[in-house]
Structure 1
Amino acid sequence: MLRIATANINGIRAAQRRGFEDWLAVRGCDVVALQEVRAQADKIPAGAFGDYHVALDTGTLPGRNGVAVLTRRPPAAIRTWSGTALAGTPSAMSAGGAAVSGMPAAASSPAAAALIAVPAPDRVPLARGLGRFAAEGRYLEVDLADAPLTIACLYLPKGGLPADLQRPERMREAPDGGARYARKMGFMAAFSRYLVRTRRAAAATGREYLLMGDLNIAHTRQDLAAWRRNQHSDGFLPEEREWFGQQLSPRTLMDVVRHLHPEQDGPYSWWSWLGQSFAKDAGWRLDYHLATPRLARSAHRAEVDRDHHGIRLSDHSPVVVDYDWP
Structure 2
Amino acid sequence: MGSSVADSFTVATFNVNGIRAARRRGFDRWLRTRSVDVVALQELRCPAADVGTFPGYSAAVDVGSVAGRNGVAVLTRVPAAAVRTWVTHPPRARGLAEFATQGRYIEVDLADRPVTVACLYLPKGGLPAHLQRPGSMREQPDGGAKYERKRRFLAAFAREVHRNRLAALSVGREFVLTGDLNIAHTRHDVTNWRAARTMDGFLPVDREWFSSILGTRRLVDVVRQVHGDRPGPLTWWSWAGQSFAKDVGWRVDHQLATPGLARLASAVVVGKEPSPAERLSDHAPLVVTYSAMPCSPVPIAEHRA
TM-score normalized by the length of structure 2: 0.91
Residue 291 of structure 2 corresponds to residue 315 of structure 1: no
User: How far apart are 1:308 and its partner, in Å?
Assistant: 6.9
Instruction: Call closer, same or farther: CA 1:35–1:142 in 2, change over 3 Å.
Output: same
1:3 aligned partner: 10
TM-score normalized by the length of structure 1: 0.85
1:24 aligned partner: 31
Q: How does 1:208-247 map to 2 (within 5 A)?
A: 208-247=174-213
Residue 69 of structure 2 corresponds to residue 64 of structure 1: yes
CA distance in 2, matches of 1:138, 1:41: 14
Kindly report the root-mean-square deviation, in angstroms, between the aligned alpha carbons of the 2 structures. Answer: 1.2
The share of aligned pairs that are identical, in percent, is 59
Q: How does 1:274-289 map to 2 (within 5 A)?
A: 274-289=240-255
Matched letter for residue 49 of structure 2: D
Deviations 1:218-253 (A, max 9, x none): 101100001111211101100000000011011110
Q: Please give the secondary structure, in 1, of the residue aligned with 2:163.
A: helix
Any gaps of 5 or more consecutive residues in structure 1? 84-120
Higher relative contact order (CA 8 A, sep 6+): 2
Q: 1:51 aligns with which of 49, 56, 72?
A: 56
Matched letter for residue 9 of structure 1: V
1:190 aligned partner: 156
2:120 aligned partner: 154
Deviations 1:246-290 (A, max 9, x none): 110111100001001122211000000111111111100000000
Contact 1:23–1:308 (Cα < 8 Å) also in 2? no
How many residue pairs match? The answer is 285
2:225 aligned partner: 259
1:174 aligned partner: 140
1:268 aligned partner: 234
Any gaps of 5 or more consecutive residues in structure 2? 1-7, 294-305
CA distance in 2, matches of 1:282, 1:57: 32
Deviations 1:31-57 (A, max 9, x none): 00000011112223x44x232100000
Matched letter for residue 68 of structure 1: A
Q: How does 1:11-160 map to 2 (within 5 A)?
A: 11-44=18-51, 46-47=52-53, 49-83=54-88, 121=89, 125-160=91-126
CA distance in 2, matches of 1:78, 1:308: 35
Matched letter for residue 139 of structure 2: E
Matched letter for residue 79 of structure 1: R
CA distance in 2, matches of 1:325, 1:175: 50
